Amino acid sequence: MRPKVIFLDAAGTLFGVRGSVGQVYGRLASRCGVEVSAEALNRAFFESFKASAPACFPGAEPAEIPQQEFQWWLTVARNSFEGAGVLNQFANFDSFFAELYDHFATAEPWFVYPDVRPALERWQQQGIQLGVLSNFDSRLRPVLRALDLAEFFTSVTVSTEVGAAKPDAQIFAAALQKHDCSAEAALHIGDSYKEDWLGATRAGLRGVWLNRDEPRPGEEGCPSASQLLELAF
C-alpha cells in the first residue's frame, strides 16, 4: 500500500559525514595548533556520544532549546577530545567549539547519498508527503537548505524540540500530527534498527531499516534495503 507520508531519518539516511567525525573534528582542531589522530578522535567521539543521554529536553521552553543543544554537544565534543588525550592542548576550547558547532550547520562536512534525490523526486511525483524525523537538533533545517533538500519536505521533526528521542513513540506521534496522518498510513525509513525500525513499528507505523554501509539481513519481520531506490510504491 502506498503510504500517505514517508518520514526519513537524517544523518546516515539522507546525508552522511564526509570522511568521519574524527577527521572533521581533527581538521578544525589543527587550525588551533592541536594535532590528533583522526582514528583515535573518531573512537573517542562515538564512545562519548553513546555514553550521553538522548538529545532531548523535556519541559524546556522553546527559547531555551538552542542553548541546551549547544551545551549538549559541547559536552560530547569536550569528552571526545579528552578521550583522545588532547583537550589540554587547546588555549580556549569553548571558542574552538563554537566554530565547530557552526561548521556542522553548513553543507561543508556533509554529503548527500546519491540515491536520495531520485527517490525523493519519485515519491514527490507520486503525491506522497515527505517529512524528516530525526534525533538531530535545530541545525537540521539550515543543513537541509544548504544541501538543497529542504524543498522536498513539508515537515521537520527533531528530538530536541519535541522533548523525546527515537525510539520513543512521542516523537513519531508529533511527526504524524503535523500531517494529520494515522500511524497506519505512514512509513518511516532510517539506518538504525532500534531507533528507526523498532521505534516506528512500536508506534504503529510501517518501517524500513536502511543498511547502507554493510548490508545485513534484517531481523525476523524487519524489512530492509541497501538504498532508497529499492523502495517502490
Write the CATH number for 169: 3.40.50.1000
Judged against a pLDDT cut of 90, whether residue 215 lies above it is answered with no
Q: Which grid cell sits at 24?
A: 572533521
DSSP state of 135: S
**pLDDT, tens digit (0-9, with 9 covering 90-100), for 86-103:** 999 999 999 999 999 999
73 and 134 share a domain? no
78 and 146 share a domain? no
178 and 98 share a domain? no
Does the CA dihedral 79-53-110-192 come out positive or negative? positive
Query: What pLDDT score does 224 carry?
Result: 84
Which of 75, 103, 131 is the endpoint of a domain?
103
Verify cis geometry, omega within 30 degrees of 0, for the bond prior to 114: no
121 and 155 share a domain? yes
What is the domain extent for residue 84?
A: 19-103
Mean pLDDT of the chain, nearest integer:
94
Taking residues 191-217, report their average pLDDT: 88
94 and 36 share a domain? yes
Contact assessment for residue 217 and residue 224, using Cβ atoms and an 8 Å cutoff: yes
Domains held by the chain: number = 2
Contact assessment for residue 12 and residue 49, using Cβ atoms and an 8 Å cutoff: no
Contact assessment for residue 10 and residue 136, using Cβ atoms and an 8 Å cutoff: yes
Does the CA dihedral 17-169-74-45 come out positive or negative? negative
46 and 11 share a domain? no
Which of 57, 75, 103 is the endpoint of a domain?
103
pTM metric for this prediction = 0.93
Q: How deeply is 168 buried, as exposed, middle or buried, from its count of CB atoms within 10 A (0-12, 13-18, 19+)?
A: buried
141 and 39 share a domain? no
47 and 127 share a domain? no
**pLDDT, tens digit (0-9, with 9 covering 90-100), for 106-132:** 999 999 999 999 999 999 999 999 999
Q: What span, in angstroms and rounded, lies between the C-alpha atoms of 93 and 51?
A: 21
Q: What is the CATH number of the domain that holds 57?
A: 1.10.150.720
Which of 6 and 211 is assigned the larger pLDDT? 6
Q: What span, in angstroms and rounded, lies between the C-alpha atoms of 226 and 233?
A: 17
Which of 79, 103, 127 is the endpoint of a domain?
103
Q: What span, in angstroms and rounded, lies between the C-alpha atoms of 18 and 231?
A: 25
115 and 221 share a domain? yes
217 pLDDT tier (thresholds 50, 70, 90):
low
Query: What pLDDT score does 233 carry?
Result: 82
Classified as helix, coil or strand, 34 is: coil
Classified as helix, coil or strand, 166 is: coil
**What proportion of the chain, given as a percentage, has pLDDT over 90?**
90
Which of 221 and 117 is assigned the larger pLDDT? 117
170 pLDDT tier (thresholds 50, 70, 90):
very high
73 and 36 share a domain? yes
* Residue labelled with grid coordinates 574524527: 22
Q: Which grid cell sits at 163?
A: 522533548
203 and 121 share a domain? yes
| Paired strand residues for 157 | 133
67 and 171 share a domain? no
Query: What pLDDT score does 221 carry?
Result: 64
Go through 194-231 and write b for each residue having 16 or more CB atoms within 10 A of its CB, e for each that does not: ebbbbbbbebebbbbbbbeeeeeeeeeeeebbebbeeb
